[in-house]
Structure 1
Amino acid sequence: AELDEADRVFSDATFWNKAEAALELLKPVNASLSVFERDESSFSTIFNTFDT
């Protein structure tokens, strides 16, 4: 039953469209977090990643 549900979800184009949209929304956050985690990061560099 769980395998059938997983197969249905993974075969659904709507699922992948929504997943792609979510990834696009998270890209700027991920980029800013990667800047934040650098040793040489500063507030202005982090702020600039959101400002672009």
Structure 2
Amino acid sequence: MKSLPINTLKIDRSFINNLKDSSDIAIVKAIITMGNGLDLKIVQKGTDRTA
């Protein structure tokens, strides 16, 4: 991902809406951590929310 010309990482709404257990939460946290580590803007797809 670091070699791609991107500046925003979009997390699909279904990932956020279906947080049912610690495994689901861990996946979303990993996505956010990866995006932050790559200095990407992180947004939840379909909303104006940023992480």
TM-score range, shorter chain: 0.3 to 0.5
Higher CA-based Rg: 1
TM-score of the pair, normalised by structure 2: 0.37
More contact order relative to length (CA 8 Å, sep ≥ 6): 2
